[in-house]
Amino acid sequence: MVKIFSILTNLLKVYNILLLQNMRKIKRFGVSIETDLLKKFDKTIHKKGYSTRSEAIRDLIRENLIEEEWKDKENEVAGTITIIFDHNVGDIPNKLLDIQHKHHRNIVSTTHVHIDEENCLEVLVVEGKPSEIIKLADKLKSMKGVKQGKLVMSSKKI
């Protein structure tokens, strides 16, 4: 019993040291906000499953920084392009492959899933200059047979 207590005490010391080191990287700051806006914010973050306002605010800041990063044409960015298409429309599977081969420098990986007998879902992991990625996403989303397309912007720096 004494040995278990000693082990637990040592683990707690290590945990506290790691916690203190991590807390040094976090800065606290105050935010002034209207009561109604705060109530709406709290309701929204509760629905999304955030346990603290801080977590939600950090995510909002990251989202904004990523949007800003994508505005700089010189940045190298990352993201995903997701499309759902009817593989029976025209020659869409081969057209999609041709586009992907032409943009092989930007496409890191693809995943193809058969949703049902007609529809396929494809996810492309992409990287490169924002203008290249946006142009590729627009080209894929506008193809005949593509029912839905979405570009999710991410960062290589975060």
pLDDT at 158: 74
Residue 140 confidence (pLDDT) above 70: yes
Q: Average model confidence (pLDDT) for the chain?
A: 89
Architecture of domain 77-154 in this structure: 2-Layer Sandwich (3.30)
What share of the chain has pLDDT > 70, as a percent? 85
Residue 2 confidence (pLDDT) above 70: no
Residue 28 confidence (pLDDT) above 90: no
pLDDT at 27: 83
DSSP the chain: -HHHHHHHHHHHHHHHHHHHHHHTT---------HHHHHHHHHHHHHHT-SSHHHHHHHHHHHHHHHHHHHSTT--EEEEEEEEEETTSTTHHHHHHHHHHHTTTTEEEEEEEE-SSSEEEEEEEEEE-HHHHHHHHHHHHTSTTEEEEEEEEE-S--
Domains of the chain: which residue ranges?
2-71, 77-154
| pTM (2 d.p.) | 0.76
Range with the poorest average pLDDT among 26-30, 68-72, 119-123: 26-30
Confidence label for 22 from pLDDT (cuts 50, 70 and 90): low
